[in-house]
Amino acid sequence: MAEIKELFKKLNIKKEIRPLVEQAFVHSSYYYENKEQGGSNERLEFIGDAVLELWTSKKLFAVKNFNEGKMTIVRAQFVCEKSFANLTQLLELEQYLKLGVGEEKMGGRNKASILADLFEAFVGALYLEYGYDFTFSFLDRKLTPELNKLQINKGPKNELQEYVQSDIRKNLRYEVTKAVGPANDRTFEVVVYLNDIALGKGSGRTKKTAEQEAAEDALAKLVKK
C-alpha cells in the first residue's frame, strides 16, 4: 500500500499527515477485518458531503447569470456519486484505499459508491484536520475546472436528464400526447415522464420544441422541491 505522504506530494499538500486523513482511506470492510485503530471512513463521509455542497454552492453563487434553478441543477450534477467517483480517480485517491480481502476480490476499488464515499471522507478529513480556508483553497485548485465543465448551457433536455440521473438514476421518456392541425402547420403536445410519473408538459410547432418546453416545465417543478 502506497504511503499517504506520496499522495500529499502529488497533490501539493504541504501539511503534516494527521490521523483523520489516514482514517479517510480505511473502508469499513478493511476495518472489520483488521479492527484498525481509529475506525473506518464512514463518519467522515458525512462531513465531507456537507463541505462539498457548501463549496459548490458558493462557487455557483458567484456566477452572476445563474438563477436559483440553474444553480440547483448544476449542483445536483456535481454533488453526486458519479461525479465524486470520477473526482476520486482524477486525484488517484483509490490507489491508497484500504479494502478488505473480500471487497478487493469483488472489485471494490472500482465501485462508484466506494470511490464516491472515499472522496467525501477525504474532503471531510481535510476540513476537520486543517480547517475551512485550507480545504476550500484545495478544492478551488483541484475541482474548479471540473465544475466549470458543467456550467455550459446544454439545453433543458440534457439538463433534465443529468439532474434526474444525478439523484435517483431513473429513465426519462417523451411522449407526444396530441398533434393538432394540418401536416404543414401542426402543433405538438408532449409530456415527459420519469418512468410512469408525468413531470412536465410542453407544446410547439415541432416535436423537438415541444420536448424542450416539457423539459423546462419539469425542471422548474423539480428545482422548487
Query: Cell numbers at residue 18, please?
Result: 494527521
- Is 64 exposed, middle or buried, given 0-12, 13-18 or 19+ CB atoms closer than 10 A? exposed
Spelled out in words, what is the top-level CATH class assigned to the domain 170-222? alpha beta
Encode pLDDT of 140-174 as tens digits: 999 999 998 876 556 677 767 766 765 555 677 88
pTM of the model: 0.71
CA dist 84 and 133 (Å) reads: 21
Radius of gyration, CA atoms only, the chain: 22
Q: Is 120 a catalytic residue?
A: yes
Are the C-beta atoms of residues 88 and 7 closer than 8 Å to each other? no
> In angstroms, rounded to a whole number, what is the distance separating the alpha carbons of residues 185 and 14?
66
pLDDT at 1 over 50: no
Q: What ranges do the domains of the chain cover?
A: 4-149, 170-222
Strand partners, 174: 192
Place domain 4-149 in its CATH homologous superfamily. Ribonuclease III domain (1.10.1520.10)
Residues 218, 182: Cα–Cα separation, whole Å: 28
Residue of higher predicted confidence among 36 and 197: 197
pLDDT tens per residue across span 46-90: 999 999 999 999 999 998 888 777 787 788 888 888 899 999 999
* pLDDT at residue 66, rounded to an integer: 82
49 a catalytic residue: yes
Check: CB of residue 92 under 8 Å from CB of residue 7. Answer: yes
Helix, strand and coil in the chain, % to nearest 5: 60, 10, 25
Catalytic residue among 45, 103, 117, 120: 120
Average pLDDT, the chain: 87
Instruction: Give me 22's grid cell.
Output: 489516514
Q: What is the pLDDT of residue 166?
A: 58
Kindly tell me the burial class for residue 5, based on how many C-beta atoms sit within 10 Å of its own C-beta (0-12, 13-18, 19 or more): exposed
The answer to whether the CB of 149 falls within 8 A of the CB of 77 is no
Grid cell 435517483 is found at 168
